[in-house]
């Protein structure tokens, strides 16, 4: 019997990775779609008057096993994919999209949902039930339920196309990343590289039966090379290769995919009665409208640009003085910034890395979670993993009750996309009196241990680990009734608050002393280094802010307008970047063709949310600092009003309940050193 068709009988009901064969996915998903359709039929054919229970709740829990299996499948397509899985994804994505449309465009079902929605004032619902009802109604109205039949057919066609093109965009990107290799055979070609990076590059070359040092576009290989390699020509080669992903007019070119996605999203929004895709998306965000987002980005730009230009002039003067560089290029950015940082603060990542052994940092994140929320992390080997690198943990509360299962997957490999993310293999919800606990995963790409050294993280990687762990805690501590409102199922511009706020602990002496210990001597990180970390936290913050704003503006430029007249991806991008550009443009490079966040992931019209959430996180952390960074009362307020509540209420209501006030942007601008 196909193991995917029934609820799992594994320990903790975890995904039975080892027993699933690739060929099981498609037939299982097709069968589970049929079963989910039967669940819907039961709702539609029920002759009783529509109620919250027999319509809204029944719809919420329809097709549960299908949701479970598809989440496993698509998580693996990101973290451990191969040609076979990618082919299945191309096959089943349009089918799943069609099924989603079968639900939202089912007139008889919508009539029942609308009947409950129209009578909601007389129903005496809880806050969470009200939110669910509102969300279910909007899932129909915002996805075509009120359209005429011919327009519904058009919507289905657009959604099918979009699902397929987005997958293709991501596959091209992964193939481009995997295809590039720069083999270096002379010592001077790796001059400047730290020993650890050289050893990793040598080991990578050996694993492919090559002599020398192998550099790739995977971040643990790319970032150290761009930051430390003395050979400017090789930095240029690597930067141009990275910047040209999806932009080579070959079979992996993403330009037409970018144009098609933007135009189809616009067409879809128009069909549903919205001015642009951004108008459609932002209706369900804290920011509410594209005008508000653009105003927010422009206001930050006005504050950040003078600082960014000062910092850039300083960097340029430094590179000129050091190496007689007349014109700074993009491939000089990380290299000279690192050298300038070392000069100004007498601090570099290589000094810090010995104190950030991966296992210690993981333990540090666990200890911070313990001090704040009373969580305990117990390593277990009694559940399946999808790859041997994955670590698995049982998460318990102070009473030793199960809070969550946690998967930690931290090293790059060919089947794994770049970057870092949190995801879930099973959501939290309450059904039949049982509080089903979630299965949460953090996925990152850190340097693997070498023959002579453990995995040592840069400080940036430390904050990345804490960031994703913050998302993880949002998932783990979820405590809602309905899965679609649980954990990180919140407004997109609120979802980054738990992740970004947790990064703050990486800069605090009290937290660093828990885990920043030298991997050889066990010595706790010296306090002068901690001070330097804090001092350097605002180093080039203007330039960093400008960079983030440029991504947000690019996102809005694709989605907040009518893109029908855009024919040249590069030219459109070039114009958008005019206000934020510090470096000369590289004609062979294009960002949009590799901007997976907005063209493959869920960030379209949402990239601004990183900055938006920074305002929230700076304000929230101010509260912790006022009362003590491990203050149990503030932590409890944060857990009870933010982390456990998921999307059960409007985020601003939740935030004010935690903080007692609306967030003030001054906290962010002060922290960034942009105002005194």
Structure tokens at 288: 């509410």
603 closest CA partner among 500, 501, 495, 492: 492
431 membership: H or E segment, kind and range: strand 429-431
Active site residues: 468
579 closest CA partner among 550, 599, 610: 550
Do 663 and 620 touch, CB atoms closer than 8 A? yes
Do 482 and 132 touch, CB atoms closer than 8 A? yes
153 class by beta-carbon count within 10 Å (0-12 exposed, 13-18 middle, 19+ buried): middle
What residues does 405 pair with on adjacent strands?
394, 439
* Helix runs in 180-215, H state only: 195-207
369 class by beta-carbon count within 10 Å (0-12 exposed, 13-18 middle, 19+ buried): buried
Do 319 and 481 touch, CB atoms closer than 8 A? no
Distances (CA, A) of 462 to 417, 468, 514, 540: 19, 10, 14, 19
> Is 406 in a helix, a strand, or coil?
strand
Instruction: Give the separation between CA 412 and CA 446, rounded to whole angstroms.
Output: 7
- In 195-262, which ranges are E strands? 213-216
Instruction: Give the separation between CA 54 and CA 60, rounded to whole angstroms.
Output: 10
Instruction: Give the separation between CA 641 and CA 497, rounded to whole angstroms.
Output: 13
């Amino acid at each position: 019997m196909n193991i995917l068709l029934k609820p799992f009988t594994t320990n903790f009901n975890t995904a039975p990775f080892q027993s699933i064969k690739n060929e099981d996915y498609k037939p299982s998903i097709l069968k589970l779609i049929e079963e989910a359709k039967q669940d819907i039929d039961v709702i539609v054919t029920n002759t009783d008057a529509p109620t919250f229970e027999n319509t809204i709740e029944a719809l919420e829990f329809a097709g549960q096993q299908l949701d479970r299996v598809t989440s496993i499948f698509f998580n693996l397509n990101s973290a451990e994919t191969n040609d076979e899985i990618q082919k299945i994804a191309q096959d089943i994505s349009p089918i799943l999209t069609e099924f989603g449309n079968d639900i939202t465009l089912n007139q008889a079902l919508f009539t029942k949902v609308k009947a409950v929605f129209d009578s909601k004032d007389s129903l005496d619902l809880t806050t969470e039930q009200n939110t669910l009802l509102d969300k279910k109604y909007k899932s129909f109205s915002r996805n075509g339920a009120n359209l005429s039949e011919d327009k519904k057919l058009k919507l289905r066609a657009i959604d099918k196309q979009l699902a397929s093109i987005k997958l293709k965009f991501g596959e091209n990107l992964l193939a481009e990343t995997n295809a590039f290799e720069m083999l270096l055979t002379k010592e001077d070609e790796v001059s400047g590289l730290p020993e650890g990076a050289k050893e990793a590059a040598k080991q990578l070359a050996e694993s492919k039966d090559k002599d020398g040092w192998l550099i790739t576009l995977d971040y643990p290989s790319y970032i150290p090379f761009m930051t430390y390699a003395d050979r400017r020509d090789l930095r240029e080669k690597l930067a141009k290769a990275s910047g040209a992903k999806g932009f080579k007019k070959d079979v992996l070119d993403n330009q037409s995919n970018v144009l098609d996605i933007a135009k189809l999203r616009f067409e879809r929004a128009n069909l549903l009665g919205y001015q642009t895709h951004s108008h459609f998306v932002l209706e369900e965000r804290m920011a509410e409208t594209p005008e508000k987002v653009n105003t927010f980005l422009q206001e930050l730009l006005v504050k950040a640009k003078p600082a960014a230009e000062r910092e850039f002039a300083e960097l340029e003067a430094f590179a000129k003085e050091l190496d007689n560089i007349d014109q700074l290029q993009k491939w000089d950015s990380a290299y000279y910034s690192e050298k300038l940082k070392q000069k100004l603060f007498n601090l570099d990542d290589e000094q810090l890395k010995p104190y950030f052994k991966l296992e210690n940092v993981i333990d540090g994140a666990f200890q911070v979670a313990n001090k704040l929320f009373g969580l305990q992390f117990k390593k277990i080997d009694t559940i399946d993993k999808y790859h041997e690198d994955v670590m698995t943990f049982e998460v318990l509360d102070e009473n030793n009750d199960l809070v969550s299962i946690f998967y930690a997957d931290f090293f790059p490999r060919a089947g794994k996309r770049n970057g870092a993310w949190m995801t879930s293999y099973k959501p939290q919800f309450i059904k039949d009196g049982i509080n089903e606990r979630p299965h949460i995963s953090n996925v990152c790409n850190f340097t693997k241990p070498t023959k002579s050294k453990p995995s040592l993280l840069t400080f940036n990687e430390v904050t990345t680990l804490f960031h994703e762990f913050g998302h993880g805690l949002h998932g783990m501590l979820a405590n809602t009734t309905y899965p679609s409102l649980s954990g990180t199922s919140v407004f997109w511009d609120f979802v980054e608050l738990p992740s970004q706020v947790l990064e703050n602990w990486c800069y605090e002496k009290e937290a660093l002393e828990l885990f920043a210990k030298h991997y050889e001597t066990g010595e706790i990180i010296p306090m002068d280094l901690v001070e330097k970390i804090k001092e350097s936290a605002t180093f080039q913050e203007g330039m960093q802010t400008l960079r983030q704003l440029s991504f947000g503006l690019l996102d809005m430029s694709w989605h907040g307008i009518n893109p029908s007249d855009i024919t040249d991806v590069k030219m459109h991008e070039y114009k958008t970047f005019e206000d934020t550009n510090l470096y000369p443009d590289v004609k062979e490079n294009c960002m949009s063709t590799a901007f997976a966040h907005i063209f493959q992931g869920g960030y379209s019209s949402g990239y601004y949310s990183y900055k938006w959430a920074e305002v929230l996180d700076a304000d929230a952390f101010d509260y912790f600092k006022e009362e003590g960074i491990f203050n149990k009362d503030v932590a409890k307020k944060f857990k009870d009003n933010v982390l456990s509540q998921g999307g059960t209420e409007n985020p601003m209501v939740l935030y004010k309940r935690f903080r007692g006030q609306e967030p003030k942007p001054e906290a962010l601008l002060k922290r960034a050193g942009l105002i005194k």
